[in-house]
Structure 1
Amino acid sequence: MTDLDNFIAGLPKAELHLHIEGSLEPELMFALAERNGVAIPFASVEDVRAAYDFSNLQDFLDIYYAGANVLLTRADFHDLAMAYFQRAAADGVVHAELMFDPQTHTDRGVPFEEVIEGLLSAMAVAEAEYGITSALILSFLRHLSEEAAFATLAMAGPWLDRIAAVGLDSSEVGHPPSKFARVFAAARQKGLKITAHAGEEGPPEYVYEALDLLHVERIDHGNRALENPALIERLASEGMTLTVCPLSNLKLCVVSDLTDHPVDKMLALGLKATINSDDPAYFGGYVADNYRAVAKARGLSRNDLVQLARNSFTGSFLPPEAILANIEKLDAYAAG
């Protein structure tokens, strides 16, 4: 490893855009399929990896939902999250905000309780063993109805004190944020933070809707905001965090090559960009891999990397005192 690789590995960082179901590695998929007696449409781990050749978001989602079928019990969700936390610890992650898709599971008959209790138990172990704090983001599937989202929010009722935020993911085009304005208003009234995927494949107008109709506190992806100068100025002036995912952008053809990735342009424009892994089992890398890949492709400096890590803390849903403590660790590391 180069000096820069080592610097990235040790850099204290938060991960703000991580779909826990998207960290299901093929080896664990096969192990859980066997444990639960679930048939999967692949003969080997190699077959699964060969299928990870996507031309767009929907290609990815099709295999993502197929893989999720092996997740049935709280032990499965615990094991899934622990596998992620082990990798996160090696990547210098000290805080992680895990997005989870309850509807992917409850629609298959898996009780909400099994999903969330498995994740919560792993989060407790991760803090005890690795010192990683974490939070949950309940993500609504935007290709489903507003009514289904309201039903999911109701299911979450007993655990709302252990859920930090709600989000919006899945197929973006044709499912604008406005479709979910009422359920996000209801979530906000319950004290939940608000985030949403916008401007990945969807147009800049979807970013405006996320801001004006959902009243988001950060934007997941946001790449296409760069097409609109007025929107860039607004995002910068409001200090809106963008949870950018370079290897995901490459794998889903949002950019044709990482040398074209706009993350340093975002920083230069005053945008509060962060680096995240999105669905790392499917997109070829966890968070440090994303830092390394885009640093190499775009020639990022150590100062750039420290700024991206700083943004990950200030853009997190941690309380102010925890943000400050993490930034002090980051500053000490950067000065070392």
Structure 2
Amino acid sequence: MNFRSLRLPLAALAGLLVLTGCPDKTKTTETATTDAPAAPKLPKAPVFNADSAYAFTAKQVSFGPRVPNSKAHVACGDWIVRKMKGFGLKVMEQPFSAMTFDGTNIRCRNIIAQYQPTAARRVAIFGHWDTRPFADNDKDPKKKNAPMDGASDGASAVAVAMEMARVLGQQPDSLAPNVGVDFIFFDAEDWGHDDTTQQDLKNQLDGSGTDSWCLGSQYWTKNLLPANYKAEYGVLLDMVGAKGGTFTREETSRTYARGPLDKIWNTAATLGYSDFFLFQDTGGITDDHVYTNKAGIPTLDIYDHPSYGNDYFPAYHHATTDNMSIIDRKTLKAVGQTMTQVLYVD
């Protein structure tokens, strides 16, 4: 996933939504904790298979770093398309070209897979499927230019979405949710300039009107696919597979998608996943949800936020330690089962 290093206060972030928007993930000092509400009764929903999600994560990692312009990137994208078609979804690809902050021209594609494509009511599940080409946040300076596996940052989110798609595709019409679901995987999200770790490098996109991060979501926002796309709300999944992962209520999510956010956190509590979905408010960050909110889709961001200390991102963030050794089925289950259940909650 891509998160940069700066947190913006709400007023500045609101302005960012009007202008541009996805530099680094940024933090403020805001933190508040509230108790979980009384648990409501939930309708029956399919069982999310954590073993399957783990396997989908491992498969993506097995291709190698999914860096645009690489063979691994092409092969993994082709695999995602085949799998989503195999689950019975309507799949569209959105190819585009972009220039990165260091002047590299990259060939990319966003992947859109629709479950119940004719349903009037729609929910979007967003994620990014590329990996950062350098581990600039690695504690070992010798590895700062090494590519990353992106097991949690990227692969875990796609894996959770794919398992949701697989499970939904198996349901008879009588057990289908009352919404259609669009799984939208953005490309070129993670090849951005980090002002903290890359101070010695010039951001060639600075002042161009294009942010160096979130290139895929920026492109999709300007070229909606399907055309004139609308959804009741969207959920951006990012870094949702690591052992001990915790998710807080991020400021932009609270501001623009408070209803869906409350539904998800309350559902997680009812399912017994409050150790993962914390009733804790934290500052705003810049991620793909900034752009999907600009597109008129109220979107919240679910990403791994350390529950204590001053670090805003886990130690594996943009480091070579983001590999399969940190992936935990319990975290995948908590996120995947919660998101699957939410689709059945009106």
Q: TM-score normalized by structure 2? A: 0.28
Greater helix share, structure number: 1
Q: Considering Cα pairs closer than 8 Å and 6+ residues apart, tell me whether 1 or 2 has the greater RCO.
A: 2
